[in-house]
A and B are shown apart, each in its own frame.
Chain A
Amino acid sequence: MYIYDEIDQRIVDDRVAQFRDQTSRFLAGSLSEDDFRPLRLQNGLYIQRFAPMLRVAIPYGLLASRQLRALAYIARKWDRGYAHFSTRQNIQYNWPKLEDVPDILEKLASVQMHAIQTSGNCIRNTTVDHFAGVAPDEIVDPLVWCEIIRQWSAFHPEFAFLPRKFKIAVSGAETDRAAIQVHDIGLQAQYDDKGNIGFRVYVGGGLGRTPIIGTVIREFLPWQHLLTYLDAVLRVYNRYGRRDNKYKARIKILVKETKPEVFRAQVEAEWAHLKDGPATLIEEEVERITKRFTRPAYQKLDKLASGYVLALGRDKAFASWARRNVQAHKVAGYAAVTLSLKKTGVAPGDMTDAQMEAVADLADRYSFGELRVSHEQNLILADVRQSDLFELWQQARELGLATPNIGLLTNIIACPGGDFCSLANAKSLPVADAITRRFDDLDYLYDIGELDLNISGCMNSCGHHHVGHIGVLGVDKQGAEFYQISIGGAQGNKAALGKVLGPSVSQAEVPGVVEKLIDLYIERRDSAEERFIDVVQRIGIEPFKEHVYGGHHKKPAGRGEQLAAA
């Protein structure tokens, strides 16, 4: 965890006071609704379908147990006893009262948290690999750089009112778990051949209405220049990004319309002025930030705990949980554990106050009092001793957080959709629920193997449907809620955008379509090792289309006509 110093704290406290003042001026009528809207959005406060929604930042997904307890307290005191983890390492409250928000922010500030720039057309919360610092395939620990970016982006005076929202993601590992190629800026931390740290810079990636994979505009940016280079990119965007049409206002459109080479030249020209200026990073600062991060005091342990190995052999349910939800750790004898928030019957990412407190206890007991939030809307205990895994599993199971489905079909990513979000075309939560119920049989789920299924309630793509192996998108068809299914999307190093399968289908038909896709996959895979996405890439989408819609691409065939071939 990064621990605030006096100035970090003061800045967050100042923000609370500022927002309290803005809220009271709004309630008193001296700040107009139109003027208040962009100001409250910069503090994560939306007015939603039923009530305001407050989005709280979990900077780069890191959370201390005391912070999670504060989040639980807020859920109980000012909301309806639960909150929702989003796909961007944020947590959202769906029922706070506007006049309570300043108090909520004050409570957050007391545990070094905030809602700064969690919405609005500004630089948003920076996201990172949820296994940062513990992944065995890590090259550079990205957390220090994330905090440097957090400080640079917080209340940046020049970039407070951009054409549109701006999201930065950082990865420091071989496998990209932060989806850096579909962010406005993606940073891949790496070493050059002399052992210096730097970043490969992607720009102009994004999902939404116009999904685009980012372009590399710099192969290696030495760390000293990180902030001046970001300033240069943002300045070009701030000056030339489109403001006439909100659907064309993201940086990806600017990069595309100006052509990536031209955009790169503009950035380089701007950077030539800023490079080596006062915003150039210095070693003292990197060291200072590094020191303000608390690090787990790992014990020296055997590579494999014998008790753990024995338990794996003894208990089949534990073994299957370990296979899906336990990830390797770079320190011998430790493991990272994913607590699944994707239990059948629960909206993906939702958590009650009691669960939060219980997880905070688990974090204290088993993982140095820290946890992570993943963009797949799960929680991670990143530093668990292998010898504690069995005990932890038993406790997680009692809490309903041990569904062994990480990486599997029912680990669905879904946005809040039409139940909560006023922008939605269609509901996403009932669809997730129906699919989860359809694939409730664990053996079947394991047989299907790795599969990402992502659902968004509209083109804004908060559920990342474009990069799901199977993507489901809510669309509006003459006022009725329909769903467009795509396949072949992927996140990570081999990021790809899914292709639309065919005409959209009704809510009731979605699970049947998914089932048909799975049927064909099982029929056509050459071994259990070949994943769904591999088969799609090998045989293309046509056979799937054929199978779902029949020869003439009309209505999808209903459930029951086709049973799993497995």
Chain B
Amino acid sequence: MAGIIKNRQVAANNWQLLKAGADKSLPAVPEGDVIVPLAQWLAQKDALLARKGRLGVWLANTDDPAVIAGDLNHFDLVAVDFPHFTDGRGSSIARLLRERYGWTGELRAIGDVIRDVVFYLSRCGFDAFDLKAGEDAKAALSAFGDFSEAYQTSVERPQPLFRRRAATAQAAAAK
């Protein structure tokens, strides 16, 4: 199985990603660790919780993360799908999960995820990246260093640059 990036390292991927059929029918759930679509979680909560393997859920770019805000303690992983890397909805979903709904577990970007968006996504709260086929996870690790600083507040660093600057200036003045 192809490797993913997790916590800024290449890691093995032990999860199976389940997708609904073309007719929206829910997939059968195999043994082991699975990431189910939101609809499946909503329809089969009890059965999914009674299973042995670990449980993850994935959100589509059009899903509202508020729907699972109260369920987060049941999951070992939450994933957000990017049908195309230029669809930025997943970035807002990630921030909401982290900053508003308090998700602290693994947050994985799946779908059309390329090396060049890893830096941004990481700032939005993703700590795992299942890159699209053909991308080299090892080579993509350098993406975390694309920029050495950033102006805005982010999940990784809630204090925006201007507050950190002000704090440094204050500390210098106090010396």
- Which A residues are closer than 8 A to B by beta carbons? 7, 10-11, 14-15, 18, 22, 31, 35, 38-39, 121, 151-152, 154-162, 235, 238-239, 243, 273, 277-279, 281-282, 284-285, 288
- Select one of A14, A35, A273, A279 contacting B153, CB under 8 A: A279
Question: Nearest-CB distance from B148 to chain A (Å)?
Answer: 6
Cβ-defined contact, A277 with B151, below 8 A: no
Structural contact, B151 and A151, CB atoms closer than 8 A = yes
Q: Is the CB–CB distance between A155 and B151 below 8 Å?
A: yes
B residues near A121, Cβ cutoff 8 Å: 86
Query: Given A18-B146, A284-B169, A285-B165, A160 and B120 touching (CB < 8 A)?
Result: yes
> Which of B89, B100, B119, B158 has the most chain A CB atoms inside 10 A of its CB?
B89
Alpha-carbon distance between A277 and B161 when the two chains are bound, in angstroms: 14
Known pairs A279-B153, A284-B162, A285-B162; list 18 more (Cβ under 8 Å).
A10-B148, A11-B148, A15-B147, A155-B150, A157-B120, A157-B124, A157-B152, A158-B88, A158-B124, A162-B88, A239-B89, A243-B87, A243-B89, A273-B100, A281-B162, A282-B162, A285-B166, A288-B162
Bound together, the chains give a CA A15 to CA B93 distance in angstroms of 26
Contact B147 A277 (CB under 8 A): no
Do B91 and A161 touch (CB < 8 A)?
yes
List the 6 closest A-B pairs by CB distance, nearest first: A161-B88, A157-B123, A285-B162, A284-B166, A157-B120, A151-B151
Nearest chain B CB to A365 CB, angstrom units? 36
Q: A281 — which chain B residues lie within 8 A by C-beta?
A: 162
Min CB distance B163 to A, Å, is 6
Using Cβ atoms and an 8 Å threshold, which residues of chain A touch B73? none
Interface residues of B in 113-172 (CB under 8 A from A): 114, 116-117, 119-121, 123-124, 146-154, 158-163, 165-166, 169
**Cβ contact within 8 Å between A7 and B152:** no
Q: In the complex, what residues of A have CB within 8 A of residue B100's CB?
A: 273
Q: For the complex, what is the distance from the CA of A22 to the CA of B117, rounded to whole Å?
A: 12
Q: Is B108 an interface residue (CB 8 A)?
A: no
* Bound Cα distance A15, B120 (Å): 13
User: Contact between A152 and B92 (Cβ–Cβ < 8 Å)?
Assistant: no
Do A161 and B87 touch across chains, with their CB atoms under 8 A apart? Answer: yes
A-B contact pairs, 23 of them (CB 8 A): A7-B161, A10-B148, A11-B147, A11-B151, A22-B116, A35-B116, A38-B85, A38-B86, A152-B151, A152-B152, A154-B151, A157-B154, A159-B91, A160-B88, A160-B120, A161-B88, A235-B92, A239-B89, A243-B87, A243-B89, A278-B160, A282-B163, A288-B169
* Closest Cβ–Cβ distance, residue B94 to chain A (whole Å): 8
Give the bracket for the number of chain B residues in contact with chain A. 35 or more
> How many inter-chain residue pairs (CB < 8 Å) link A and B?
100
Give chain A residues whose Cβ lies under 8 Å from the Cβ of B117.
160-161
A159 CA / B124 CA spacing, docked (Å): 10
Please determine whether A7 and B85 come into contact, CB atoms closer than 8 angstroms.
no
Chain A residues within an 8 Å CB radius of B147: 11, 14-15, 18, 155
Contacts of A159 in B (CB 8 A): 88, 91
* Known A22-B116, A235-B92, A238-B92; contact A161-B151, beta-carbon cutoff 8 A: no
Which one of B114, B152, B158 lies within 8 Å of A35 (CB-CB)? B114
Q: Give the residues in chain A near B88, CB-CB below 8 Å.
A: 158-162, 238
Contact: A278 with B87, CB < 8 Å?
no
Q: List residues of chain B with CB within 8 A of the CB of A10.
A: 148-149
Does the CB pair A278–B89 fall under 8 Å? no
**A278: which of B93, B150, B158, B165 is its contact (CB, 8 Å)?**
B158
Does residue B95 face the partner (Cβ distance < 8 Å to A)?
Answer: yes
Q: Which residue from chain A places its CB closest to the CB of B114 in the assembled complex?
A: A35
| B-side contacts of A31, CB under 8 Å | 116
Contact B149 A238 (CB under 8 A): no
Known: A39-B116, A158-B124, A161-B87. A277 touches B153 (CB 8 A): yes
Residues of chain A within 8 A of B91, CB atoms compared: 157-161, 238
Q: Which of B85, B150, B165 contacts A157 (CB 8 A)?
A: B150
The closest CB in chain A to the CB of B139 belongs to A30
Cβ contacts under 8 Å, B148 to chain A: 10-11, 14
Q: State whether A11 touches B149 (Cβ < 8 A).
A: yes
Which of A121, A158, A235, A238 has the largest count of B CB atoms less than 10 A from its CB?
A158
Bound Cα distance from A235 to B93, whole angstroms: 10
Q: Kindly state the separation between the CA atoms of A18 and B124 in the bound complex, as whole angstroms.
A: 19
Docked CA distance A277–B152 (Å): 12
Tell me whether A279 and B152 are in contact in the complex, defined as CB-CB below 8 angstroms, given that A18-B146, A157-B124, A288-B165 are known contacts. yes
A148 nearest CB neighbor, chain B only:
B162
> Shortest Cβ distance from A104 into chain B, in angstroms?
20
**Residues of chain A within 8 A of B85, CB atoms compared:** 35, 38, 161
A156 CA to B114 CA in the complex, in Å?
A: 18
Q: Which residue of B lies closest to A38 (CB)?
A: B86
> Which residues of the partner chain A approach B161 to less than 8 Å between Cβ atoms?
7, 151
CB < 8 Å neighbour of A279 from B114, B146, B150, B160: B160
B155 and chain A: residue at smallest CB distance: A157
A264 to B88, CA, bound (A): 22
CB distance from A287 to the nearest CB of B (A): 9
What's the least CB distance linking B96 to chain A, in Å?
9
- Interface-central residue, B85, B95, B148, B151, by most chain A CB under 10 Å: B151
